[in-house]
Structure 1
Amino acid sequence: MDTRAFDFELPRERIAQAPVEPRDRARLLVRPTGGGEARDSLVRDLPDWLRPGDLLVLNDTRVLPARVQGRRETGGQVELLFLEPVLPGTLLTPESTEVAPGADVWRAMVKPARKIKAGECVACSGGVVARFLEREAESGYWLARLEPGQGGHVGTTTEELMAIAGAMPLPPYIERPATEADTERYQTVYARKPGAVAAPTAGLHLTEDLLQRLDAMGVRQATVTLHVGAGTFLPVTADRIEDHRMHSERFELGEEAAAEVRACRERGGRVVPVGTTSARVLESCALRDPDFERDIVEARAGSTDIFLHPGSGPRVCDGLFTNFHLPKSTLLMLVASFIGVEEMRELYRTAIEREYRFYSYGDASLLWRRPT
């Protein structure tokens, strides 16, 4: 399928630069079951669109303050975005200079990457030092780690030092520096497991009160984990979507969540992931069960590069609660895998005409899977 089918023009003023407060006052565009004209609502009214027996699946990843600014000895500025641990586990000391087995080494995007030399250290805020170890030839990413500077605490890990030297990694279309308010606001209220460099943004709309109201009406909740990587925002550059090489992200779906999906099937409920990340976890764990007309999931953990798009659509998910996504992105293609390309394009035309806010801090949509 031609990638251009997923392109669209978005007025710049439709890109949200700050979130709505409170969280659940964001707008919600609902595409009814079976199609039809999209309905305007609010996230706080989500109980009106769900029913007892449904299952919401939440991604409990927690965003790391993974963007770190440094200064070289020459005075030049350097920015690191720590993506994922490569060799996690070993504590570091200021005296360590070699990469030992199991050392706390991370893969990082670096700007400017070409000027950095292997072994170089740059000074960061809070007395933290970033050490560059090796540049990967294929990806262009650096292997790097954070270390305590002189007088720093011995035995502090890179992840812990991010809390001292780092800032929340807001996506590039938010054209302002991260603030102290973003430290809390760019996390879901149920974020538990650190590891993401981008928020599972659909979940940013949910509040403790809303989740309690849904629970009281009989909508069940299950949690999975997918640590969102920077690749989630990258546009598809291949001419055909089938030629796109999908990024990989770490995930976990436990026995409890798998049991919740099975129970939802047994009672005739609908499985509704909150966000594309939860959908990717569920679909990565899809399992055919002869006792059900639809697939269930099995408990699994690892990395997934699943790419949901028209022709390779959902097997487990019945609906999707999600934000409005970038043109030509894999997230937009995932939306189309639920409702079809033309329906997706019509939905986005409607959202633009009705002045919905787009992207991470924008509004949300609720979609139901097109019957197969």
Structure 2
Amino acid sequence: MTRGSLLGDGTLVADYDFYLPEELIAQQPPPERGMSRMLVLNRDSETNGEPLVSDRSFADLPSLLNPSDLLILNDSRVIPARLFARRATSRGKQSATGLIEVLLTAPTAEGNWTALVRPGKKVRTGDHLVFPDIADEIVLEAEVIGAGEFGERTIRFASIQDFYAILDQIGHMPLPPYIRRNDSTADRERYQTVFAQQRGSVAAPTAGLHFTPPILDAIAARGVEIAKLTLHVGLGTFAPLRVNRLDQIHLHRERYTLPEATATALNRARSEGRRVVAVGTTAVRTLEHCALKAETSTSGQFAPHSGETEIFISPGFQFRAVGAMLTNFHLPQSSLLMLVSAFAGRERVLAAYAHAVREHYRFFSYGDCMFIR
């Protein structure tokens, strides 16, 4: 990986670089869910006398939460969104040409999806695609109806009774490209949180992967209130930043839902001065987007609703909802690293990442985590 420094004022994408040996990128989940290491980052270490970072285990998380905290989880469920297709012949059969990889990223209308297609240059608007099952029988058909940049396509699927059942049959779990192996049967369970309910993500909200039912029970037993929201992770997770400055960054829209029970819990926590702890950057982005909407509403309170967000959080952002967060370690020069830097300070975060490298923490989706308080 690349090597960066702490120089710069934080306005350039390159200011969020760091050195990461390839061997620290986790290729598999830990042997058992919940056994990850956890780096604790203290934002107020300069004033409270505590060290900037301390090395803990994820199992310690319940003891680090306050009984009055409100813990927010993202209950989005990952779909097996990576498909393999062939071009259809004029007779509706499969072409003998090579396989085309189709990674669904978000639904756009009834039967329509945006997708990343490889090899993109060979897939044009008007092409018809067929998707075979393991027996090489065609079970799904589609037409390419639009083309974007960098291999992005809009695909219209032929009407079918249960689209998601077909995805479960022929789809693969969309492991990120830095996991350099094919997905396995085990990934169907491990690349999914234990509280996943609302299907629609094409990447896991990875901070949630560490939780187990016993740890959730321990958190609840401590008196912590637990609530859920939904943000479906989309194309932005896979799309690299292709600009040089932070003020040039525009993220893709992602769909979210703030349920009534969660809006009520947030309003109650705010009125009582309680800390809101977000599990993952997806929860952070949703909460801060909804907090901005609340500011401009008549009531000034969180209200249940669904919508889309493209909020980009970088240093200088004023956090309105989140008081602490659990997050995994993020890629160099990524928008998620910028979000974490906005919350804890770029110099502190890069120093914590340097510590994590020295101590051989495991990085990215299947890696270890960091609790920022």
**Alpha-carbon contact 1:14-1:358 (below 8 Å) kept:** yes
For structure 1, which segment, 120-129 or 32-41, has the greater mean C-alpha deviation from structure 2 after superposition?
120-129
Structure 1 unaligned spans of 5+: 89-103, 148-153
Change in CA separation of 1:235 and 1:137 when aligned onto 2, cut-off 3 Å = closer
Q: Pairwise mapping of residues 190-205 of structure 1 onto structure 2 (< 5 A)?
A: 190-205=195-210
Change in CA separation of 1:137 and 1:52 when aligned onto 2, cut-off 3 Å = closer
1:125 paired with 2:133, answer yes
Q: Pairwise mapping of residues 171-250 of structure 1 onto structure 2 (< 5 A)?
A: 171-250=176-255
Match of residue 282 from structure 1: 287
1:25 paired with 2:35, answer yes
RMSD of Structure 2 on Structure 1 (CA): 2.0
Match of residue 20 from structure 2: 10
Match of residue 74 from structure 1: 96
**Alpha-carbon contact 1:261-1:297 (below 8 Å) kept:** yes
Match of residue 363 from structure 1: 368
Match of residue 100 from structure 1: none
1:111 paired with 2:118, answer yes
**Alpha-carbon contact 1:276-1:334 (below 8 Å) kept:** yes
Structure 2 unaligned spans of 5+: 1-10, 46-50, 88-94
1:63 paired with 2:73, answer no
Give 1:357 shift.
Answer: 0.4
Change in CA separation of 1:313 and 1:232 when aligned onto 2, cut-off 3 Å = farther
Match of residue 142 from structure 1: 153
Give 1:17 shift.
Answer: 0.4
Change in CA separation of 1:137 and 1:275 when aligned onto 2, cut-off 3 Å = closer
From 40, 43, 47, give the equivalent of 2:62. 47
For structure 1, which segment, 77-86 or 176-185, has the greater mean C-alpha deviation from structure 2 after superposition?
77-86
**Alpha-carbon contact 1:235-1:330 (below 8 Å) kept:** no
Deviations 1:143-201 (A, max 9, x none): 22455xxxxxx842433321111010000000000000000110000000000000000
SS in 2 for 1:180: coil
Whole-Å separation in 2 of the counterparts to 1:74 and 1:360: 36
Whole-Å separation in 1 of the counterparts to 2:75 and 2:267: 20
Whole-Å separation in 2 of the counterparts to 1:289 and 1:239: 32
For structure 1, which segment, 296-305 or 164-173, has the greater mean C-alpha deviation from structure 2 after superposition?
296-305
Whole-Å separation in 2 of the counterparts to 1:40 and 1:275: 19
TM norm structure 1: 0.88
Give 1:84 shift.
Answer: 1.3
TM norm structure 2: 0.87
Structure 1 runs of 4+ with >3 Å offset: 137-140, 295-298
SS in 2 for 1:215: helix
SS in 1 for 2:326: strand
Whole-Å separation in 1 of the counterparts to 2:362 and 2:301: 34
Deviations 1:69-91 (A, max 9, x none): 12340321110011111212xxx
Give 1:315 shift.
Answer: 1.5
From 169, 172, 181, give the equivalent of 2:174. 169
Seq. identity, %: 41
